[in-house]
Amino acid sequence: MRKTLLVGIYEVVTTLTRRSFLIVTFGLPLVSALIFFIVSALNPDTRDSITSMSGLASSQGSAATQNKPDGYIDRSGIILSIPSAVPDGELIRFTDEAAAQDALDKKSIRGYYLIPVDYLHTGEIIYVRSDYNPLSASEQSGLIEWVLRVNLLGGDVRLANQISDPLDLEVTVLEPPNDRDQDNPLSFFLPYGVTFIYYLIILASASLLLNSVTKEKENRMIEIMMLATTPRQLLAGKFVGLGLIGLLQAILWLGTGFVLLRLSGTTFQIPEAYQLPVSFLIWGLIFFLLGYAVFASLMAGIGALVPNIREASQVTLIVMAPLMLPLMLISVLVRDPNSGLAVGLSLFPLTAPVTMMMRLSATEVPLWQTLLSIVILVITAVLILRIVARVFRTQTLLSGQSLNVRKILDTLKPYGKAQLDAGESGKKVV
């Protein structure tokens, strides 16, 4: 136990004193926070500009109250009247662009629409505003669209509403309710961001163990360490020590993302439906630890079998390929996070950590699925660790042979007690 602890402390100290690790671990949260506060400072009107537009009441066509109105310049002559359902001062008409720009400079309007003369032929409208905010770009046109539709239909409000909402459906939803608007870009980008960050965290943490073993084999440090420790003590020490480093990295990255998302909810007024609960962090740490246990064990096995880091990097692509599958299918998974494909990938142990976190950020996942995924991951991690412990033998670590199928099969063959003892001590059994 003491030797295992010493190996773990050695790995922690060595990793924390490496400049590249410190830059990646602490630099990413700092850069993300810096970008966030710069965007907040450059957009002083962010609260006003990103307040979500409730849209129009489906049958009344009334507009939601905005902090600031919009203006418009109609060079096409299409807008002959503003429907009475639109509150006074909600949409202001300007005779020319200079007057609209002057109102925008004085911050009396949020922005203004420029309807060109050839609108009927091109269908293009220009929207001008003082700041740039991609989150609200899809929510600005609801009111002007409805006003244009009414005027194009000769002022028939009832027909305009019927065209906007031609069906009066009564829908019975069997799944838990989801308050998220699927047309909102956040419905895709939030789960995608969680999936991508989780992939990076598990890949980075597992790669630490692979790099540690292969580098020590290349510079022959492994031979010195094997004089004082057994292979299993070496594996346990590296696994625990680098696991703590990976946990620190995960807490920093996930914690920074969680805090920035919370701050963006007040600064940018992101809808409450997109605010992740505190329980998300708890599940996140659990699935990180289990994902690390599975993939770090696989990486340790690769590091024990390959002679150098060049060959290890080639095999790593094969091992990490399942973890990339949720990223490649992200559009399908986000569109229906409770589909059979999503549930299957969140239960399959090699894709479960990333897929389950994507689902937890996209929808409400049944508790039994989350717990079942955890149980499967625990069983998988234990089995892989037992196999890797068998691979982690003195003769394997010091062989220096190229990786091939025969070598893998030989290392997995069961050994007798005498042979295992010899493997631990480095002696040859005659």
Residues 6+ apart with CB under 8 A from 20: none
Count of structural domains, the chain = 2
pLDDT tens-digit profile of 70-84? 889 988 888 888 888
Mark which of 103, 130, 164 sits at the end of a domain: 164
What's the rounded Cα separation, in Å, for the pair 365 and 34?
A: 33
What's the rounded Cα separation, in Å, for the pair 85 and 97?
A: 26
pLDDT for residue 17 is more than 70:
yes
Pick the residue with more confidence: 220 or 327? 327
138/209 same-domain check: no
Instruction: Name the burial class of residue 398, with classes exposed (0-12), middle (13-18) and buried (19+) by CB atoms within 10 angstroms of its CB.
Output: middle
pLDDT tens-digit profile of 253-306? 777 877 776 676 554 556 666 677 778 888 888 998 898 888 888 887 777 777
Residues shown for the chain: 430
24/64 same-domain check: no
pLDDT tens-digit profile of 309-331? 677 777 777 888 888 888 888 88
The CA R_g of the chain, rounded to the nearest whole Å, is: 30
pLDDT at 264: 63
pLDDT at 347: 93
Residues 212 and 296 sit within 8 Å (Cβ to Cβ): no
Residues 123 and 129 sit within 8 Å (Cβ to Cβ): no
Mark which of 164, 191, 209 sits at the end of a domain: 164
Q: Average pLDDT over the chain, rounded to whole? A: 75
Domain of 231, in residue numbers: 2-36+183-425
Q: Say if 41 falls within a structural domain.
A: no
Instruction: Give the lowest-confidence range in 125-139, 235-249, 250-264, 375-389.
Output: 125-139
60 residue type, one letter? Q
Write the secondary structure of 179-196 as one string of H (helix), E (strand) and C (coil).
CCCCCCCHHHHHHHHHHH
Residues 53 and 110 sit within 8 Å (Cβ to Cβ): no
194/290 same-domain check: yes
pLDDT tens-digit profile of 28-56? 788 878 887 777 666 554 444 333 333 33
Q: Say if 148 falls within a structural domain.
A: yes
Residues 209 and 238 sit within 8 Å (Cβ to Cβ): yes
pLDDT tens-digit profile of 134-188? 545 445 567 888 888 888 888 888 887 777 777 666 655 555 555 566 666 777 7
Task: Specify the DSSP class assigned to residue 348.
Answer: S
Q: Report in angstroms the alpha-carbon separations of 78 from 148, 159, 205.
A: 7, 17, 60
